[in-house]
Chain A
């Protein structure tokens, strides 16, 4: 069974601090990794994609991938109240079309 695991939270982080979100996946064949943000009642919004081992930075967001450990993370620097949402880790297997989503981590930024 191909799974994506995330801590459901809630993860509470003070405003201005770094939020660290983690995700593990079970299938070594996974090739593409994404972080989506989902506000309550809304659709998933793509915020980061990463395909190679290492770090990828985009503004306040940094995605980190370690394929050997089957681990992907998202760091949010200078957290803002508007970052409060559920963050979905998602993976795509090699030559697959479908995204396999984790259940998401609820992030709460404390003003």
Chain B
């Protein structure tokens, strides 16, 4: 069964460093997403991406964050200068979104990258 994959599973970085989190969405999916979950808190939307551009982003997704689809399979999230409060699980998701306007789309999540900023 197709699935979303993410690498690395765990990333430790020092405050102020740049990190890139990688995702391979399900191959026939057209919409891609990043979410984060701070330990003990709810899953929060960061950004959605379609047709090589951001379609929506949350208040969390500030200038420190960027996303890119560098090739036909990978989808990346970059954090330019990490802060302690960026420590969280980061989930990539994808959806087929054929019937977007009817809301008939389902998002499938990858296993996540645990980011620890020290």
Please list the residues of chain A having a beta carbon within 8 angstroms of any beta carbon in chain B: 31-32, 34, 36, 42-46, 49, 51, 88, 92, 94-104
Contacts and interface: CB of A to CB of B under 8 A. Distances in A.
Interface string B101-116: 1111111111110000
Interface residues of B, number: 28
23 contacts: A34-B107, A36-B109, A42-B111, A42-B112, A43-B110, A44-B91, A44-B109, A46-B109, A92-B105, A94-B103, A97-B48, A97-B50, A97-B55, A98-B33, A98-B48, A98-B56, A98-B58, A99-B35, A99-B45, A99-B107, A101-B42, A103-B41, A103-B42
A44 B102 CA distance: 23
Interface of B: 31, 33, 35, 41-45, 48, 50, 55-56, 58, 89, 91, 100-112
A49 B110 CA distance: 18
A95 B50 CA distance: 14
Nearest to B114: A41
Contacts of A103: 41-42
A78 to B, nearest CB: 24
Name the residue in A32, A36, A44 with the highest tally of chain B Cβ atoms < 10 Å from its Cβ.
Answer: A44
A96 B56 contact: yes
Contacts of B108: 46
Contacts of B42: 88, 101-104
Given A97-B31, A100-B45, A34 B111 contact: no
Contacts of A88: 42-43
